[in-house]
């Protein structure tokens, strides 16, 4: 249960709808199209100026301006689905397993050398030494079984999922892997296993699959579906009802092999893409950069919150930083069309916060994680958390509340946990803060 009284938020938001519309018309500006600048670690140093000294590691400071409402219906999506015959052919060719079975087959044990310095911290864990320090893979998105189902568990387990993108250090881009961590087995050192995301290919007589080569800056789990942010494309959607076991032993091969076996770069399990939501805009708006995604179960209906990453250089060149809300249908787990059949956002704001890596919303209040660079010796490089109460509240900065390289956000309402994680080698805690304390 939430510990803060938020009962007035819905009423304020409803009473302000007319004001929002007027503000949107009066203050709406056409976004300048800037080339996508995804938030890979190598880009942080160039994109961000050194952080100015803060008076307090946990200081709260309001920015000069509130978030600016935008015309939400100008942000749109179109659904396309993978051939069901092709997915069915792979179902027939490969053993199907459950998420619970993957959790039971965990093959890695995490350990932490230290605890993260996080304001209002409530939980944390790490990875094993190899994953903690590797520069071959970088963790990005996070979602939990409390996103998947309101009860908070999936297949009887409390599970966290984390996305990693391959930096192709070995010359092979393996795409995206997902860490399945079983918090029911251990909350402080959950055993885990990586699975690989794949896109079906080939024909029904010779079905195969390929790696999914995207940044995966944010992920959101809803029922049997996993939404993965595709920076310049919208969302890739993966179906846990088609989770396949493949052969292992070939670290450089993927898909159907000459002998009829299936490999996945030595990963034992693969999760296939079964749909896409391709984004578009109207009204002269620039395309939204899909840098993070989260689920809001406190809205009606449930909804998806999306935000974009922009560096300070992008903003100086005219880029806007926007966040939107899109309704989602609990009956089929897809984004929910409006009455005219078009999938459209129902809420949108311009915040112009640089280096936003994650966002979510709880009872009308938005939360944004902000990376402050990679100067590990400087406490002011720790991540910041920003909040504002929609539609017209001031943006409030909670300075250095998160760790260095803070990434995606996910909210667990069953425990009031606001989850995030660090991306940089050696600083890769996965941790939660008490959301009601901000």
Tally of structural domains, the chain: 1
Calculate helix-pair angle for 17-27, 7-15, nearest 10 degrees.
Answer: 60
DSSP string, 336-392: PP-TTS-EE-SEEEE---TTEEEEEEETTEEEEEE---S-TT-GGGB-EEEEEETTT
- Positive or negative: CA dihedral 159, 163, 166, 172: positive
DSSP string, 261-287: -EEETT-SEEEEEEEEEEEEE-TTPPP
Average pLDDT value for residue range 133-144: 98
Beta bridge partners of 328: 335
Q: Which domain holds residue 144?
A: 7-437
Q: What is the pLDDT of residue 65?
A: 65
299 in a structural domain: yes
- C-alpha to C-alpha distance for 263 and 191, rounded to whole angstroms: 24
The lowest-confidence range among 296-300, 326-330, 371-375 is: 371-375
232 in a structural domain: yes
Q: What is the pLDDT of residue 374?
A: 81
- With a cut of 90, say whether residue 230 has pLDDT above it: yes
273 in a structural domain: yes
- C-alpha to C-alpha distance for 366 and 353, rounded to whole angstroms: 13
- With a cut of 60, say whether residue 107 has pLDDT above it: yes
2 in a structural domain: no
- With a cut of 60, say whether residue 63 has pLDDT above it: no
- C-alpha to C-alpha distance for 425 and 193, rounded to whole angstroms: 19
The lowest-confidence range among 25-29, 46-50, 272-276 is: 46-50
Average pLDDT value for residue range 20-30: 35
What confidence category does residue 61 fall into, taking pLDDT thresholds of 50, 70 and 90? very low
Of 421, 431, 413, 420, nearest to 149 (Cα)? 413
- With a cut of 80, say whether residue 349 has pLDDT above it: yes
pTM: 0.87
**Count of residues in the chain:** 438
């Amino acid at each position: 249960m939430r510990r803060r009284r938020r009962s007035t938020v819905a009423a304020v938001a409803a009473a302000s709808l007319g004001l929002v519309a007027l503000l949107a018309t009066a203050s709406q500006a056409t976004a300048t199209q800037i080339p996508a600048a995804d938030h890979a670690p190598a880009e942080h140093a160039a994109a961000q100026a050194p952080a100015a000294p803060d008076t307090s590691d946990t200081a709260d400071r309001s920015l000069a301006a509130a978030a600016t409402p935008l015309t939400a219906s100008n942000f749109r999506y179109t659904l396309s689905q993978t051939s069901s015959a092709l997915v069915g052919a792979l179902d027939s060719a490969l053993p199907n397993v459950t998420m619970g079975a993957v959790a039971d087959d965990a093959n890695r044990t995490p350990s932490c050398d230290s605890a993260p310095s996080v304001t209002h911290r409530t939980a944390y864990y790490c990875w094993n030494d190899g994953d903690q320090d590797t520069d071959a893979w970088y963790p990005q998105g996070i979602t939990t079984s409390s996103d998947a189902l309101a009860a908070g568990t999936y297949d009887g387990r409390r599970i966290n999922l984390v996305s990693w993108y391959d930096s192709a250090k070995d010359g092979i881009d393996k795409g995206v892997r997902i860490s399945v961590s079983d918090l029911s087995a251990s909350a402080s050192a959950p055993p885990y296993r990586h699975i690989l995301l794949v896109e079906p290919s080939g024909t029904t007589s010779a079905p195969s699959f390929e790696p999914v080569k995207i940044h995966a800056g944010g992920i959101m789990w809803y029922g049997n579906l996993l939404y993965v942010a595709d920076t310049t494309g919208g969302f890739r959607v993966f179906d846990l009802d088609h989770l396949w076991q493949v052969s292992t032993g070939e670290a450089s091969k993927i898909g159907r092999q000459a002998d009829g076996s299936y490999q996945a770069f030595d990963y034992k399990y693969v999760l296939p893409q079964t749909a896409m939501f391709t984004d578009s805009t109207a009204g002269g708006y620039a395309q939204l950069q899909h840098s993070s995604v989260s689920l809001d179960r406190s809205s009606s209906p449930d909804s998806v919150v999306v935000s974009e990453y922009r560096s300070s250089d992008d903003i100086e060149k005219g880029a806007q930083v926007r966040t939107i809300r899109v309704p989602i249908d609990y009956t089929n787990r897809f984004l929910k069309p409006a009455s005219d059949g078009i999938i459209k956002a129902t809420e949108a704001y311009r915040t112009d916060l640089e280096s936003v890596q994650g966002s979510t919303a709880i009872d009308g209040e938005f939360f944004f994680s902000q990376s402050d660079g990679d100067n590990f010796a400087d406490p002011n490089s720790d991540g910041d958390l920003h909040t504002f109460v929609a539609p017209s509240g001031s943006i409030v900065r909670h300075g250095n509340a998160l760790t260095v390289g803070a990434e995606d956000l996910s909210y667990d309402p069953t425990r009031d946990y606001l989850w995030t994680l660090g991306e940089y080698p050696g600083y890769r805690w996965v941790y939660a803060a008490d959301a009601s304390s901000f």
